[in-house]
Amino acid sequence: MKTIQNYIRDSISILFLSIFLPLFSIASIVFLIKLATYTAVIQLSIFEMAKLFFFMLPELLFYTLPLSFFVAITLALFKLSNDNEIIVLFALGIRPKLILQILLKPAIFLSIILLVNFFILFPHAKVLSSNFISYKKSEAKFNLSASEFGHKFGEWLLYLGKDNLDETYSDVVLFNKKQNEEVLIRAKDAEIINDSGILRLKLTSGEGYSYSDKKFTQIDFEIMYINDTMKTDLDKYETPMEYWLPKAPSEKKKKMLISNILFSLFPILSIFLAATIGIVHTRHQKGKIYLFMFMGIIIYYTLAVALQLVFSSYALPVLIFGWLGATYILYKKIIVAKF
């Protein structure tokens, strides 16, 4: 019995890798193309592109692993049927129930991985990715260069006389006109500092002038910091539960939570369907297996998205028990009745 279990699992493992790797590669290319669109707004180095791709790995794995598993177990059973090995097992007294038990253990293991992935890893990676892009956008909003035209730094008008090679600037002039007062600052050198998304202008060796109808003020300084009012909005959360169910209700996250739970349970809920499609009489059903397999995937994922729009959180028991009941009836009528 142990030999049979190992043989079936080895067959599934080989097919799983042969399906998962191409599917993961295709999905990765799609995500890389999406990342490439960011370069129209922000500058990304190869290392930063790799970092963003790493942040997207949980999402990539979440959508490719369950599909690869379902296709792998279905094709593995079909291959065993096509080679008449399933018929031999049934002739030796092995019941279809045993095959389901063999498939159930890796299905449970994979569903647990998917639940941990989307519930814990996904929020962390999503927040890191969003904050990183926001941080890079804040840098892109203030790209300085010396020219005859000025720049705007928050409420200040800024003129740079010279752009040095070490990312510093010389002969800097700032001007700010308020309602009853005008401020003029001149500095020998300046440097842009990005402190956690807050842009700060560091001025060195200069003087400032403030004048109005009633008074005139002059100051000399060695170092002066001017903060930009443009601050990067960074997402924060402490626990995964706080991300998925925040204090301020988010209907979008609630729907995503329900859908992702259903997607995570797909490996377990698809056991009966995989056996019904994969265990066949090849002479009669050889040309229909791929049609049934992809129809099953499309129907399940469509229901997972559509039902939560109608039943909200009740979509979980409706789809879980409804799908299990429907696929079990098919399994009993098509497989158990024949074998």
pLDDT at 286 over 60: no
Closest by CA position to 62, among listed 315, 262, 320? 262
For 214-295, list the strands marked E by DSSP.
Answer: 216-231
Cα–Cα distances in Å, from 208 out to 121, 177, 185, 310? 51, 13, 4, 64
Mean pLDDT of 19-31: 91
**pTM for the model:** 0.74
pLDDT in tens, 94-112: 787 888 888 999 999 999 9
Extract the tokens encoding 220.
Answer: 């000399």
β-sheet with 182-195: strand ranges across = 151-153, 156-163, 168-177, 182-195, 198-211, 216-231
Return the higher-pLDDT residue of 303 and 244: 303
Backbone angles phi, psi at 148, to 5 degrees: -75, -10
Note the pLDDT of residue 62: 94
CA dist., res. 281 & res. 259, Å (int) = 35
Note the pLDDT of residue 98: 85
Could you count the other beta carbons within 10 Å of the beta carbon of residue 201? Answer: 24
Place of tokens 């002969």: 171
Backbone angles phi, psi at 24, to 5 degrees: -65, -40
Long-range contacts of 297-305 (CB under 8 A, 24+ apart): 297/67, 297/70, 300/266, 300/269, 300/270, 301/263, 304/259, 304/262, 304/263, 305/259
CA dist., res. 122 & res. 145, Å (int) = 39
pLDDT confidence tier of residue 175, bands split at 50, 70 and 90: confident
Note the pLDDT of residue 86: 78
Note the pLDDT of residue 127: 85
Extract the tokens encoding 201.
Answer: 């202008």
Closest by CA position to 298, among listed 74, 67, 114, 68? 67
First to last CA, the chain: 19
CA dist., res. 233 & res. 253, Å (int) = 19
Note the pLDDT of residue 2: 76
Q: Classify residue 130 as exposed, middle or buried by CB count within 10 Å of its CB (0-12, 13-18, 19+).
A: middle
